[in-house]
Structure 1
Amino acid sequence: MGLPALQRIISMQRERRRRQTRAHGNELACLLANSFALQQLGLSHCSKIIRLKIPSLLQRLITLEVSACKRLQTIEIEAQCLSKFWFTGEWLVQLSFGEALQLKTLDMHCHGAVCEARANLPSTFPNLETLSVFSYFEMVNTPMVGSKFPFLKHLTVKLAAAPAYDYCSLISFFDASPSLETFFLNGFQASMQHPSILADPSGRRRMPKHCHDKLRNVTIAGFSSAKSLVELTCHILESSESLECLTLDATEGYDYLRCSVNRSGKCFCMRRDAILEARHGLLAIKTYIEGIVPPKVKFTVVEPCSQCHVVEL
């Protein structure tokens, strides 16, 4: 098959046991210049590439995935029909999207991804509908800025947050997304580092009430007794009259880790301190959340397995 007829995926991956595929910027540029029918492009472990430019002549390119290209500094995209972009790296590189304003799905995994997504992405991707951000270590609170995601419907946030991180700062995404329908948060920690609401005699803060009138489905996995996480949940309940389903999961949040699904018949192990914190999270739910859930909302609480995750106090 000739290059102009290429319609699937160009994938350049490191081969550990055989020979290593190395792509230089000029070689890749030449390849792309002759791939007019390209629809999907995946680049992985391309350690020689410093600058990636996706030319406008790739009029059929829909999906771009870039992962673990450790020397990459800049991505320039001029392909106007691109609708899906996945990026995985230690840090987010400089992004330039020119006229590529059709992007509807963005998935980014890197340090500080949550702050970066809220602060700098809205003006770059005005048509974004689905946003997933995974931050390996989030140290800075999500900023309150005026920019909007006018069409964002689905938001997924997975983060390992520093002890000082305020989960309520995620309200910034709700205020910026008038069309938001579903929100998934996974803040699972191997050990509890945030101040617990159970140890704070002042109780919970009450956030300024806003109207999130499209939000229907919310799931929070890795639910703990972290004070700001409980406060965020209460804010969602008090500000989202359209809410239909709320799920609070005190485990890692992955069904495939449970004994009912796993072939071994046993749940994947949870550390002792994680199980104990899950119990604290369940107590926080009963104390601060259960009583304010409207009758119309389907409320689900997921607990650690009573057979596989048992610890003595």
Structure 2
Amino acid sequence: MGNIKQERARFVEDRISGMPDEILVSILSLVTLKEAGRASVLSRRWQKLWIFVPNLNFDAQERLYYLDDHRCERGLERLYRIERTKYVMWVNGVLKLHRAPTIDQFRVSFDLDVDYRHDLDHWVKFAFEKRVQRLELSFEHVSSNPCPFPPFYRTLSFPRCNSLRALILKFLNVIGEVLEYFICNCPFLERLCVQNSAALVNLKVPGPLLPLKYLEIRHCHKLQNLEISAKNLVSFVYSGPKITMPFRYVPNLVEMSLGGTYCEYSIYQFCEFSSCLSRLETLILELPRIKKLIELPTLSNLKQLELIAFDASDNESLLGLTSLLKAAPILCRLTLKWYQSKGGRKVQKAPKCPHHCLKLVEFVGFTGQIIDVEYAMFLIENAVELEKVIIDPRCPLMVGSPWEYNEIEEIQAARECAKMLGRELSLGDKLVIL
């Protein structure tokens, strides 16, 4: 019996190994670089295939989580230096062996600082020589000596890049002049994302003929001015300080997300640029704290609204958000996320505000306290065509991380409260508890 199983396994392996190189390389492109390298032990047929994969994703996030868990231990800085050296050697070793003529994606994700700027310079040059389509550099956790974007773009050796479609820069010091250079010299650039750059002060996105569709600027705390003129822009994300931000020309904008102190300021200034938002279908507002009353102009095309509040307690109320339903007559999906602390007060009631299009309501961060229960009751009672209520008791900041179920007792208590709410309001199978 054992021999039969071995023969079947060998037959399956031979069928896979007999496929053309292009198909096997495509298979390896679906896994991580380390997994692709391990595939070389399967047979001689696989030994050199990984050096032709078009997706170079150097993600070491799991190791960062490990270092984070041990950040209070003595000797951690020495361990960081060792891990950084190992990481850089890994990337340099792969690039030395890589043989594919082009690459679709080049992604670096680890904690590197200014000491590795020459390695970064080499990596970026490598990526552009390989006509990269998506370039992502993420040096999260760096705080004291952030790495600057390599200055080689100023030299004649940097060509006009016709391949680049997406540029994502996180925890990397990049100035507006560099970004504007890329915007003007990458004629097919569709996505630009910059996060946590301490060097970005001014940025102009010029030219109505630019193909740029997605622009995201987050946590660039020295930014003062952002000027946007982009005919093809469909999605815009900004989270950070209050800045001068003239929307010169964004006729096709359908998705927008605002956060930080700018969001707190902008919700009272929406009328000033409401003409630019006439086609808006999705709006996300990240507020530092709950507002007693938010007034928005009528957004006749708005279908999805997400509200995120970073400071909420039972002494406050979400009922001031009832005007949001009036501002969005065809709204069909509402998501609420908040980070709350316990308090104590009586349940409040808001005047009825029937809404005939809202079909899905999602609560993330539900704890079963008065602040979320009373607003859940308000929405359920006023959404005439409601089809589903999703209640997620996990902390929004932790969703998707290894710590999302750390507070398991609190999560279970919130689930029980959600079940009681469902029974009280006769939700039946409309209620989904995660």
Contact 1:75-1:93 within 8 A present in 2 as well: yes
Cα deviation per residue 1:174-218 (whole Å; 9 max; x = unaligned)? 1111111111112243x42x435xxx3xxx333211221111011
Match of 1:270 in 2: 407
Change in Cα spacing, 1:219 to 1:31, as seen in structure 2 (3 Å) is closer
Establish whether residue 128 from structure 1 lines up as the match of residue 305 from structure 2: no
Contact 2:191-2:212 within 8 A present in 1 as well: yes
Match of 2:165 in 1: 8
- Give distance in 2, aligned partners of 1:117 and 1:229: 25
Deviation at 1:280, TM superposition (A): 6.9
- Give distance in 2, aligned partners of 1:256 and 1:12: 21
Cα deviation per residue 1:128-172 (whole Å; 9 max; x = unaligned)? 11122333x315324235x11211111222222244532112222
Contact 1:221-1:250 within 8 A present in 2 as well: yes
* TM-score normalised over the length of structure 2: 0.55
Contact 1:188-1:251 within 8 A present in 2 as well: no
- Matched to 1:150, the amino acid is S
- Give distance in 2, aligned partners of 1:252 and 1:12: 27
Match of 2:344 in 1: 195
- Give distance in 2, aligned partners of 1:43 and 1:74: 15
- Matched to 1:41, the amino acid is L
Larger Rg: 2
Deviation at 1:299, TM superposition (A): 1.7
Change in Cα spacing, 1:294 to 1:140, as seen in structure 2 (3 Å) is closer
- Give distance in 2, aligned partners of 1:228 and 1:188: 11
Change in Cα spacing, 1:215 to 1:45, as seen in structure 2 (3 Å) is same
Moved more, 241-250 or 222-231: 222-231
- Give distance in 1, aligned partners of 2:199 and 2:355: 46
- Give distance in 1, aligned partners of 2:247 and 2:225: 11
Match of 2:224 in 1: 73
- Matched to 1:270, the amino acid is E
Cα deviation per residue 1:277-304 (whole Å; 9 max; x = unaligned)? x637844863x66323356x612344xx
Contact 2:208-2:231 within 8 A present in 1 as well: no
- Matched to 1:125, the amino acid is L
Change in Cα spacing, 1:291 to 1:117, as seen in structure 2 (3 Å) is farther
Gapped runs of 5+ residues in structure 1?
A: 16-20, 303-313
Establish whether residue 291 from structure 1 lines up as the match of residue 434 from structure 2: no
Which of 385, 391, 399 aligns to 1:248? It is 391
Match of 2:203 in 1: 52
Cα deviation per residue 1:101-139 (whole Å; 9 max; x = unaligned)? 3111122332473x446433461422111122333x315
SS across alignment from 2:379: helix
Match of 2:413 in 1: 279
Contact 2:168-2:192 within 8 A present in 1 as well: yes
Deviation at 1:14, TM superposition (A): 4.7
- Give distance in 2, aligned partners of 1:41 and 1:284: 40
Deviation at 1:76, TM superposition (A): 1.0
Change in Cα spacing, 1:269 to 1:29, as seen in structure 2 (3 Å) is closer
Change in Cα spacing, 1:208 to 1:156, as seen in structure 2 (3 Å) is same
Match of 2:183 in 1: 32
Change in Cα spacing, 1:116 to 1:242, as seen in structure 2 (3 Å) is farther
- Give distance in 1, aligned partners of 2:198 and 2:251: 28
RCO greater where, 1 or 2, for CA within 8 Å and sep 6 or more?
1
Match of 1:300 in 2: 432
Alignment RMSD = 3.1
Match of 1:307 in 2: none
Contact 1:138-1:165 within 8 A present in 2 as well: no
- Give distance in 2, aligned partners of 1:13 and 1:234: 40
Cα deviation per residue 1:29-87 (whole Å; 9 max; x = unaligned)? 44433444322222234333322111124431101111232210121111111001122
Taking every aligned residue pair, what percent have the same amino acid on both sides?
Answer: 21
SS across alignment from 1:205: coil
Match of 1:83 in 2: 234
Deviation at 1:22, TM superposition (A): 4.0
